[in-house]
Amino acid sequence: MLELRHLRTLIALQETGSVSLAAERVFLTQSALSHQLKQLEAYYQQPLFERKSQPLRFTLAGERLLTLAHELLGRVAAAERDVARIREGDAGELRVAVECHTCFDWLMPAMDSYRQHWPAVELDIVSGFHADPVSLLLTQRADLAIVSEMEPQAGVVHHPLFAYEMVGIVARDHPLAEKKIWQAADFAGETLIQYPVPDDMLDLWRKVLLPAGVNPPRRSSELTVAIIQLVASRRGVAALPYWAVRPYLEKGYVVARTIGDGGLRSELYAAVRSEDAPLAFMQDFLATVRERSFATLPGLTVLAG
């Protein structure tokens, strides 16, 4: 009765705390996932989690199967890596270029996990922020690029990583703190504090401000913590990933607000050279980034290819 797909479902439930989000994670409809869970509970003749809890809480039986899921799926992944090493070898070079300042928050933990899987792969980050990291792939100066748009290009393959919410942040005593949802007009007359990147690389600009003809004055900083400090002291407002600002929200330094009626979603992709895409150590790096990010960052959603 118990299959690997059931174990993956249990881990998705643990990481998302929600049946609907877990269904999205494992590419099922909510009804199909609910049916799968009911089959498991009927087989074991007891509930696996408390349905009315928020976030979802596992029962003792559910916790035991969840422990098995982590143990067994980890062993399956290790065996698959071993088979790949037998087929392709265990060494290689993987130089990563990024175009986003907040990428390091999730990239570094993923790289630490990956090094344990592929210790013979030379893993490194290409120094500096790169406005066009894909060009580094084509000139053999990088092997993987983290980008926010999937622009078709000869010789390059894009792999979806995840989508996330950008939130507006403001000082707790700022008038905009009273508004739960910000529209483009709310940024007019405010100083927008942002990373020092071109406007066309900012989703807030491309998706919200530019279509509305709003162009607020700017101030820039390289560091997320510096942006937070400027916002907290009422020097302006900012738009940052929810997962990047959550620690500061919990400490009460600033407040976060939804941008637009449906929220402002941003996306991240990994671009690699076509000839490198099938390599086992490359595929495992992509899988590790997704797994670690979904396990540790709040508010991520699955991004279709």
Distance, CA of 53 to CA of 206 (rounded, Å): 39
Rounded to 5 degrees, φ, ψ at 68 are: -60, -40
The end-to-end CA distance of the chain, in Å, is 31
Q: In this predicted structure, what is the pLDDT of residue 61?
A: 94
Helix and strand element counts for the chain (H, E): 11, 12
At 129 the pLDDT is: 62
Q: What is the mean pLDDT of each run of 10 residues along the chain (305 residues)?
A: 92 89 88 92 92 86 94 90 78 87 83 91 80 86 91 92 95 95 95 90 93 95 92 96 93 96 94 94 94 88 79
pLDDT at site 183: 96
What are residue 156's DSSP bridge partners?
273
Give the three-class secondary structure for 124.
strand
Name the nearest CA neighbour of 192 among 224, 231, 219: 219
